[in-house]
A and B are shown apart, each in its own frame.
Chain A
Amino acid sequence: MKLPNHPADFEAGDGTPLKSNAPRSGARTDAIDDSPVLAGTTDQTALVVKELTKRFGERTAFSDVSFQVAYGEVFGFLGPNGAGKTTTVRTLGTLIAATSGAATVAGIPLNAENGADIRKRISIMPESPGLYWRLTVTENLEYFAGLYGLRQAGPRIQDALEAVNLVDRADDLCGALSKGLRQRVALARTLLSEPTILFLDEPTSGLDPVAALEVHHLIDELRRRGVTIFLTTHRLEEAEKLCDRVAILNTTLRTVGRPQDLRAQLFASALVVKTLAPLHDPDQLFSSIPAVQGWHSDAPGSYELSVSDPRVAAPEVTRGLVSAGADVLSIGEAQHSLEEVYLELIDEDVEASRR
């Protein structure tokens, strides 16, 4: 797999950089390790993972995983249950040791000696909020502020509570909060240290749609602040909505890229044609149009045409249909969701395992 080695590799399709490509002001800069980072990386890179593997005895959690994440990017990490997403986050978060491979996290090489320095620059929100139920929201945050070594934590706590809109619940016991509110407290906790990289492991798991939407707004707000976010999820619409790029993991990394690029890679360009009534002889009609490479019909009056360039093919198809006397309802480019990309890749794995 090709790793993007240049900041331009992190640019959006129009050539503009993806968000801010540097640690935001106010990010911690102390205790920077001066060990050489991985070859091919730049100071624009928040996260570099190269051929990382984790095994538990005979079981492989993930294998040979390589990718990079730019500063300020929202990077989605997708995969089915048991794919190794959480183990990857735990490994990058220095909770567990990789079996082989290398990584740099916020510019610091990932190894046991650098664990505390890496953890100063990152925050991890595990799937379960992990709050102390007998303590209030503020007491929970004060505790974690202390663990990050913050001496005057009051303003930070206030900022974090404001960011998650929980100022009025600051004195409530965490055990008395709803699941959605607990998730918000956990998010506030991750903001206390003003992390360079924020790992969110299934942040909307188990939340109702309204609470999930609130979390999405918070992630959007963090993106605007320039925080690099590593989001693991199996909610594909969430990844599509929030992430600049996504990686799909199923023990090995199946693909990584922008959602639209993945769709283009996996699915041939196609036009979807809908007519009022089924065409009399669609085979003869479509084979007479040079831009159409093939076609199939899923339903009467609905045709999907394989084309090399939809913008060239659409006018030709329109003319062909009109000259054939068809009543055209619509002609449009076929849109494949991230879900289809995901299922396509995961299905390939399932079929490969059957063979």
Chain B
Amino acid sequence: MIGLDAVRVRAVIRKELQDYRRKRSIVVTMSILPCIFLINPVLTIFLTSASTASSALDKTVSISLIFFLVIPVIMPSTLAAYSVVGEREQGTLEPLLTTPIRRQELIFGKAAAVMIPTVALSYAVFGIFLCAVWLFANSVVASALFQQGPILLALLLFTPLLAGWSIVVGMAISVRASEIRVAQQLGILASVPLIGVFVLLAVGVIRPTFLVAILFAAGLLVIDVRALRVVDRMFDRERLVTGAKAARQ
């Protein structure tokens, strides 16, 4: 990425991942959340009768797949909300900010460190689910699922983009929050507008087609990039260190 020092960004990503691995609550949360969101699709697919009418089967299958979009939204919100205010509370932010790292590098590194496990786990859970359906589900139901092309494409495209949204909103809250708990509670709010979209998809107001999937993905990409720029502007070293807003000279 232009203007970013790869060594510094890599250092941030590596340290964040080391830190996550050593914190049991993070590992447990990251393991349990996808499993919870796996319950509904698994039950739906494996309990649906093969004799269900074609249109009803399509609807049931597509709704169950939409549940997979919740994972990349919910999973990173807590980590992203912790990213800056957490450093501040544990007293590591000031030494970090005294190094030559630029704010863009720090923000990008921290966002990437949350994005990597989120996307990896989301795709892994989805992949395992598809394999299980292909191997063990009734062939009629499995066939109905694999014919949901627009939704499957949406899942592939939306997973990193939704995670990006959730991370950026979480980080925006984190750079301004005064304490971790407040940041994490507010971080959950990141999912509210997206859950609205899921509901519209579920009730059929938005018809999933390839064009809709691509347009939504493009729109989300633009929103993510703009939101990242907003976070960059919100990142104020003076405010983070002293709690007071920097005076512009």
Contact = CB atoms under 8 A, between A and B. Distances in A.
A146 B8 contact: yes
Interface string B223-237: 000000000000001
A254 interface: no
B101 interface: yes
A149 B241 contact: no
A124 B102 contact: no
B98 interface: yes
A124 B5 contact: no
Contacts of B99: 119, 144, 147-148, 193
9 contacts: A97-B246, A117-B100, A128-B94, A130-B92, A130-B94, A132-B15, A134-B23, A146-B14, A189-B95
Contacts of A125: 95
Majority SS at the chain B contact face: helix
Contacts of B93: 130
Nearest to B94: A126
A10 to B, nearest CB: 26
Interface string A130-147: 111111000100111111
Interface residues of B, number: 33
Given A147-B96, A189-B95, A96 B15 contact: no
Interface of A: 55-57, 87, 90, 93-99, 116-117, 119-120, 122-126, 128-135, 139, 142-151, 186, 189, 193
Contacts of A96: 237-238, 241-242, 246
A55 B10 CA distance: 37
A147 B101 contact: yes
Given A126-B94, A130-B95, A151 B7 contact: yes
B204 interface: no
B247 interface: yes
Nearest to A144: B99
A90 B194 CA distance: 41
Interface string B7-31: 1101110110011001100000000
